[in-house]
Structure 1
Amino acid sequence: MIQDNSIVVREYLMTDKEAVMNLIKLNTPDFFAEEETNDLSNYLDKEIELYYVLLVDGKVVGCGGINFAEKRTIGKISWDIIHPDYQGKSLGRKLLMYRIEVLKAIPGIKKIIVRTSQLAYKFYEKQGFTLNEIKRNYWADGFDMYSMQYNEL
């Protein structure tokens, strides 16, 4: 857990689900397709591995996860969402870098990847990720998948 004055990053609790689901709704259709709302709900209920929430003054304003592949040698950044009113204030960066540090501390992690869209890939590029592949209309119609890898591991 990190704490920086009024900003806290902590592990997700089931009691956070309503706030997290509200975050995706606030970011749809700007960053997520409508059908991804059900995908996130299913993820939180059944597929979650490590997931975190970012709070400002006790309010959940961001969230993001980590999943693993290839026998825990690949860390996958997943489901990053920041409340629209808090975007552009370095909170997404803080949450991402927190998870990258978590992954760096896990023995055996050889690669960190993220699969995002054309709407957010520039954010990851600024944080040290490079683009590997683009798949058109992957997430939904008009939502391409940008596969990226972190370069500073």
Structure 2
Amino acid sequence: MLDNFPRGTICIEDIEMGMTRHLRKEVTDEDIEMFAQVSTDRNPVHLDDAYAQDTIFEGRIAHGMLTAGLVSAVIGEQLPGHGTVYMGQTLKFLAPVRPGDVVTAEVEVIDIDHGKRRVKLDCRCMVAGKKVMIGEATVLAPSRKFD
């Protein structure tokens, strides 16, 4: 299940304060297993039901960085989009994401430096309207001058 804006590029010349873009995705068991394989993070809190039941989460949870990766998808595919270079990211995880949760990842432009092509984005992920992750990203936006 994906619900998002069209993919593409918004060049620095067209980026405005307050612009937002988002995507919505259901986190599946397959996503968690694939992330574990790619990252090599096989912590049993993500993969083993019996183990995870005895943790503070009382059940399996998705990797935090899998959730954060959805923010990366919004930045790399929508705002600013194709050609964007990540410069930095802060993250704070507020609540677990569980298999079957539908995550909405959203970014909002909060600062623009046209001269340096830098854009600062407020980043958040939500499940059922509740914030599960917050942070800020700084990116180098594409420009029509460099096409």
TM-score, structure 2 length as denominator?
A: 0.27
Q: Which has the higher contact order (CA 8 A, sep 6+)?
A: 2
TM-score, structure 1 length as denominator?
A: 0.26
Q: Pick the structure with more helix per residue.
A: 1
Q: Pick the structure with more strand per residue.
A: 1
